[in-house]
Amino acid sequence: MPEIKVTPLGAGQDVGRSCILVSIGGKNIMLDCGMHMGFNDDRRFPDFSYITQNGRLTEFLDCVIISHFHLDHCGALPFMSEMVGYDGPIYMTHPTKAICPILLEDFRKITVDKKGETNFFTSQMIKDCMKKVVPLNLHQTVQVDDELEIKAYYAGHVLGAAMVHIKVGSESVVYTGDYNMTPDRHLGAAWIDKCRPDMLISESTYATTIRDSKRCRERDFLKKVHESIERGGKVLIPVFALGRAQELCILLETFWERMNLKAPIYFSTGLTEKANHYYKLFITWTNQKIRKTFVQRNMFEFKHIKPFDRSYADNPGPMVVFATPGMLHAGQSLQIFKKWAGNEKNMVIMPGYCVQGTIGHKILNGQRKLEMEGRATLDVKLQVEYMSFSAHADAKGIMQLIRMAEPRNMLLVHGEAAKMEFLKGKIEQEFSIDCYMPANGETTTVTTNPSVPVDISLNLLKREMALGGPLPDPKKPRAMHGTLIMKENSLKLVSSEQALKELGLNEHQLRFTCRVQLQDPHSDNDTLHRIYTHLKSVLKGYTIQHLPDGTVMVESIVIKVSSSAEDANTKVLLLSWIYESVYRSLRVWQPPTLDIFLR
């Protein structure tokens, strides 16, 4: 039985360093190759030694697919391709290909230049790695090799995020990456057709959450920002440069415009301008509304949002600052946070998920005293707010996707074990399909039951289809007989006659003849005719013919009459039939008819 095997190297019952190995139809595919924000040691990257203990990965992998540019999905890519060694194709969408190297370079700078780590990938390695990337367009069917094909679907999560459908023969797997089932201010909703994969591998970040309406969340967010500004506080919003940042910028920009607010909004790092430029050039990946109006008004040209300079942090008066990175684990957002943490008028709004081990995660859990490097402690007095703006599908969204794709099996990754357990139960109950949630390094195997594609001769198919009358009822199943020829790799289903002809075999006719004597004074012809009329009256529903050459045919059974040489009144009946007809009809009529003659 063919099998599909799935082994997460990362993101198994966990969020971070997504890396999932899939074996399908003899092909090995790596889905995502991310890093873990919560670790600074070896655990930061997936354990590639699982694939092979020594040497390069090229011969063990047919392709690598990156779902989107977030570092927990692509952060380990240069390490894997350049330091471990992989030269095969890496697939990602155009926006991902454009943005991914910038984030990787940023990540490298923080790790190497700031933290002083050695034995890390270099800028050149990022470039070399990106040379192996093959861009992927939405809905394009990419033939990786003769058997393996992949197709990308829109996932909504961030600019360029994609779900992939992987197909070998009639077996298939869908990997969702991160996705969002509700359209937001700048992206559309994820969509997939009813492709009925053997396995759907889905993220489950919000496995237990059913979020309230987005409008309420937005109103809440704006209210909090507004209140804080009103009382002269500073608002820090840690974000990743691309993704939620643009969503919240659009939100604040329209709010500022409507309320005619004057407090400055800043966006940290030089990446901003560039980031917004990507959104302008990849406008086809945003939602319908933005795409429709971009000629008149480009939503990514902000009037109220200005670039941030380090010195602004000490300016008096209210301000809103978007700063990277989003989990307060390093960089500018952390610096600003340290500066502002002591004042209870200030506020930090965490708009997304924070990985365990980061400062973001600690303050969200209510920790008010933080240990910093050099044994210093930091008192957190400012308000801490959490608003889920990360564009992940919630439980409702995940169920919706299952309904869309109709998978035969389900596998959850990219979530916390306890939450997955809950969702797993729900899925199994609602869809009665098996749902798996392997831990890292644990392999899930499902057997598939593919049907066998066969070439059927059109003659045979048409003949069988026509058996239902001149206009066969397409809903009605029909009986069919044929011969399957298995030659090398081809499977052909043809009629038996054609099979004989194609294989150069001759037909062998098996014929039986039997003599029956009876007394009848009439001439041979009259006897034959009497037999004919008699049979006709006895055998209803059979084709009975009296042929001019002096024979009677019942279906394909031939009956002849001759007079015996000794006695003209003794007639000899010759009954002759071939094997096939015996099979079909003689079984029915042989005993009674012979009796008819002997009577």
Partner 1 sequence: MKLYCLSGHPTLPCNVLKFKSTTIMLDCGLDTTSVLNFLPLPLVHSPRLSKLPGWVSKDGTLNLEKKELLDLSTIDVILISNYHCMMALPYITEHTGFTGTVYATEPTLQIGRLLMEELVNFMERVPKAQSATCWKNKEIQRMLPGPLKDAVEVWTWKRCYSMQEVNSALSKVQLVGYSQKVELFGAVQVSPLSSGYSLGSSNWIIQSHYEKVSYVSGSSLLTTHPQPMDQSSLKNSDVLILTGLTQMPTANPDGMLGEFCSNLAMTIRAGGNVLVPCYSSGVIYDLLECLYQFIESANLGTTPFYFISPVANSSLEFSQIFAEWLCHNKQSKVYLPEPPFPHAELIQTNKLKHYPSIHGDFSSEFRQPCVVFTGHPSLRFGDVVHFMELWGKSSLNTIIFTEPDFSYLDALAPYQPLAMKCVYCPIDTRLNFHQVSKLLKEVQPLHVVCPEQYTQPPLTQSHRSDLMLELQPPPMPYRRCSVLNLPFRRCYERVYILPELANSLVPSEIKPGVSLATVSAVLHSKDNKHTLQVSVLPPSKKRKRVMEEPPVVLAPKPLLSGAVPLDAFLATLQKHGITEVKVEETADGHILHLQAEDTLIQLEEDGTHIVCDNNEPLRTTLRDLVLRFLQKL
Q: Does 503 participate in binding partner 1 (rule CB under 8 A)? A: yes
344 is catalytic: no
Which residue is catalytic, options 203, 247, 253, 385?
203
30/142 with CB nearer partner 1? 142
Interacting residue with partner 1 among 53, 54, 429, 509 (CB under 8 A): 509
Residue 511 interacts with partner 1 (CB under 8 A)?
yes
Our finding on whether 500 is near partner 1 (CB under 8 A) is yes
Element at 592 (helix H, strand E): helix 587-598
Handedness of CA 274, 280, 281, 287 (dihedral sign): positive
C-alpha 111: how far from chain center: 34
Residue 1 · residue 38 · CB < 8 Å: no
Residues 49, 124, 140, 564: which binds partner 1 (CB under 8 A)? Answer: 140
Q: Euclidean distance between the first and final Cα of the chain, in Å?
A: 61
499 scored as a contact of partner 1 (CB under 8 A): yes
How far is residue 138 from each of residues 152, 201, 232, 242, 498, measured CA to CA in Å? 5, 19, 46, 20, 45
- Selected from 114, 139, 223, 403, the binder of partner 1 by CB under 8 A is 139
Amino acid at the residue 384: V
Any residues with CB less than 8 A from the CB of 496 and at least 6 apart, and which? 481, 482, 483
Q: How far is the CB of 275 from partner 1 (least distance, A)?
A: 9
Taking CB under 8 A as the criterion, which residues in 273-292 touch partner 1? 274, 277-278, 280-284
HSE toward the beta carbon, residue 397, CA cutoff 13 A? 29
CB of 90 to partner 1, least distance (A): 15
Binder to partner 1 among 372, 514, 547, 568 (CB under 8 A)? Answer: 514
Shortest Å, Cβ 473 to partner 1:
7
Minimum CB distance to partner 1 smaller for 259 or for 281 = 281
The yes or no reply on residue 297 touching partner 1 (CB under 8 A) is no
- The one among 40, 254, 383, 483 contacting partner 1 by CB under 8 A: 483
CB of 142 vs partner 1, minimal distance in Å: 7
479 interacts with partner 1 by CB under 8 A? yes
For partner 1, which stretch binds (CB under 8 A), given 49-57, 105-113, 209-217, 468-476? 468-476
Among 120, 191, 294, 386, binds partner 1 (CB under 8 A): 294
List Cβ<8 Å contacts ≥24 apart for 35-44: 35/71, 35/72, 35/75, 35/76, 35/107, 36/10, 36/72, 36/355, 37/71, 37/72, 37/327, 37/329, 37/355, 37/357, 37/358, 38/355, 38/356, 38/357, 38/358, 38/361, 39/357, 40/115, 44/17, 44/76
Residue type, 236: L
Letters for 565-584 (x = contact with partner 1 by CB under 8 A, - = none) are --------------xx--xx
CA distance 477 to 555: 27
Which x/- pattern over 448-467 shows residues binding partner 1 (rule: CB under 8 A)? Answer: -xxxxxxxxxx--x--xx--
Sheet (strand 319-323) strand order: 305-307, 265-267, 319-323, 234-238, 347-350, 383-386
Positions in 158-217 near partner 1 (CB under 8 A): 170
Catalytic residue set: 203
